[in-house]
Each structure stands twice: as C-alpha cells, then as structure tokens.
Structure 1
Amino acid sequence: MAGKTPKTSAKRAKKSVKKSATKRGAAKPRLLSGGNPQIAKGYGDSPVQAYIAAMPGWKRDIGRKLDGLIVRTIPGVHKAVKWNSPLYGMDGQGWFLGIHVLTRYVKVAFFRGASLHPVPPGESKQQHTRYLHLHENDEIDEAQFTAWVKQASQLPGERM
C-alpha cells in the first residue's frame, strides 16, 4: 500500500460501496432517448423487473404484460438486462427475444423471427431478426404472441 494512507483507502472503499448500491438499483434509473430505462447489466428476474418498473407510463403496462406472457409460456425462461434491454433465452441456447422502449412504441425483437410462422410484421436490417411494435392503444394478440414465443424458444438463440 505504498503511498496510500488508510484514510484514502477508506474513502475509496466508501465510494465503491455507494457506486455499487447505485448499480444495484438503489437510485432511480435514468431514462435514455425515447424513454428507454438505463438499467445496469444483470442476470435473472430482478434486473428485468427493475427495467419494467422504470418503463414510463403506458409502456410499463405493456412490459408487465409481455413479461407475464413469456414466463407463462416458457416456465424457467432465463432473463437478463444487457444494453439497456431485457433479454429472454434458454439455458445454454442463447437469447431468443429482447424488449426495447422507444418514443412511440415498445419494440419486441425476435432474434430468429424470420423463421417464425407467421413471420412477425416488423422488418430488420439483420436477416434473421423480426420485430413486433406495440403502440399505446394496441391490443396484444396473446395467442399469436405466445405462439411466437414458444416457436422462438425452440430455435437456436443469439449469443450476446
């Protein structure tokens, strides 16, 4: 510990504890462009629930609905937040679905969506990805959405 006093080390440790408490969600998440919540990278249900809780207004209800449908359709689904987006996947198979908040809608990305039947309506620059855009007053076709989730979960996922 050459050159460092115990007082300096204690200050650094205190700062580190404060910083990690903020990362764990102690502070209110900041909204990025389009209202997308800034949530620290994390694995499991907790960071996904923190993301959903931070979604602004009507988008939060859509987030809760989507998460509930995914969990009921695929019990034991793996969850994470990476790049400020919740991801859903299968153990050892990668991620099959992601959610992202934009200004006017919530975007659901099916990473192998081009292989789903019927193909989700939103096109992507990536060959295999397809999107579902959910706007404020849209009704979610639960039967179609859960069918896509089930199909997507059975395909090889993205390694991110």
Structure 2
Amino acid sequence: MAGKRSKKPVKVAKKKVAKKMAKRVVAKPVLLAGGNPQIAKGDGDAPVQAYIAAMPGWKRDVGRRLDALIVRTVPGVRKAVKWNSPLYGVEDQGWFLGIHVFTKYVKVAFFRGAALRPVPPGSSKSKDTRYLDIHEGDQLNEAQLAGWVKQASLLPGQRM
C-alpha cells in the first residue's frame, strides 16, 4: 500500500485554506491614528459607504446619520473619499463639506463655514473653514445641521 495517499487530509487542508481565505475577505479595515478608516480614494457613493462602514463603534451611526441628512438636504450631492475623508460637493462648484474621524469625536468641516448663519462653533486656522465636532452621546440638532448643509451647498466650494 506504499504510495497510496488518503484523501481525507487533502479535504481537511482545503477546508482550512477556504476558512483562511474567507477571513481575509471580511478582514477588519485598517484604522489610522485616532481611529480614522483608511479607505482608498475614489469618486461616488461606494467609497463613502465603505468609509462609513469602517468607522469604529458609535461613530458609524453618526456617519450614517450625517450621510443620510446630507443626501436628503442636497439632492444629487456629489461624493468622494480623498485624504481618508468623505467629501460632499456640488458638480462644478467644488466640495462644501468633509468628515473625519478622531479618537473621541467625528469632525464635520464646512469649507466655507464662516459664511454660514449662525456660524458653526469650531474655529480653524483657515479663516473660511468652520467645524462641528460630534462626541459620543451628543444630541444632534438635525434642523440646524441641515440648515448649514443647505447653505454650504449653495456657496462656491473648495477645489481639491
């Protein structure tokens, strides 16, 4: 019987390889400093949804709520991920808003925020940019946020 091999070990080995491959497919996204997801840059909804899906913990729900609010407020909004941040804009006008994840909060950047009324609370080194930082447990004033999004979408955006 020398030279005959049992088929059982081969089947077991194939199952182990299949399990390893399945784990690779559903591998956790890479998180950069502060928990910001590392997502390949790209245009459209798909990379933005990949970014939101990779946001850690409670921040994912914030990302979903922000994205839904922006889409409701600005029909036909243009989306992309650049520099590991989702961007929202209007075709031929540039980007009006960006989102970025930090360790303890989600930062919403209004690129022409100084022109919004009322002005969003977070200052910036850039005289035009203003921020809204959303921490765990914060109650979002969705009416105010929608107002800022609408105003920002009507202003000339950033060219990036």
Q: TM-score range by the shorter chain?
A: 0.7 to 0.9
Let me know the Cα RMSD of the aligned residues: 1.2
Aligned partner of 2:65 in structure 1 is 65
Aligned partner of 2:45 in structure 1 is 45
Specify the structure having the higher radius of gyration (Cα).
2
Aligned partner of 2:89 in structure 1 is 89
| Cα shift at 1:29 | 2.3
CA distance in 1, matches of 2:78, 2:126: 23
Aligned length: 136
CA distance in 2, matches of 1:129, 1:80: 19
| Cα shift at 1:26 | 7.6
Q: Which runs of 5+ in 1 are unaligned?
A: 1-24
Q: Which amino acid aligns with 1:41?
A: K
Q: Which amino acid aligns with 1:154?
A: L
Aligned partner of 1:15 in structure 2 is none
Residues 65-101 of structure 1: per-residue CA shift (max 9 Å, x gap):
0000000000100000000000000001100000000
Alignment of 1:107-122 (within 5 A): 107-122=107-122
Q: Which amino acid aligns with 1:117?
A: R
Identity %: 76
Q: Which amino acid aligns with 1:40?
A: A
Alignment of 1:1-160 (within 5 A): 28-160=28-160
CA distance in 1, matches of 2:31, 2:59: 13
Q: Which amino acid aligns with 1:129?
A: T
| Cα shift at 1:139 | 0.8
Structure-1-length-normalised TM-score? 0.83
CA distance in 2, matches of 1:107, 1:41: 19
Q: Structure 2 vs 1, CA of residues 27 and 43 (structure 1 numbering), >3 Å: closer, same or farther?
A: farther
Q: Which amino acid aligns with 1:157?
A: G
Tell me the SS of whatever aligns to 2:125.
Answer: coil
CA distance in 1, matches of 2:80, 2:110: 15
CA distance in 1, matches of 2:112, 2:78: 17
Residues 28-65 of structure 1: per-residue CA shift (max 9 Å, x gap):
42000000000000000000000000000000000000
CA distance in 1, matches of 2:83, 2:47: 12
Tell me the SS of whatever aligns to 1:81.
Answer: strand
Residues 120-143 of structure 1: per-residue CA shift (max 9 Å, x gap):
000000110000000000011000
Q: Which amino acid aligns with 2:71?
A: V
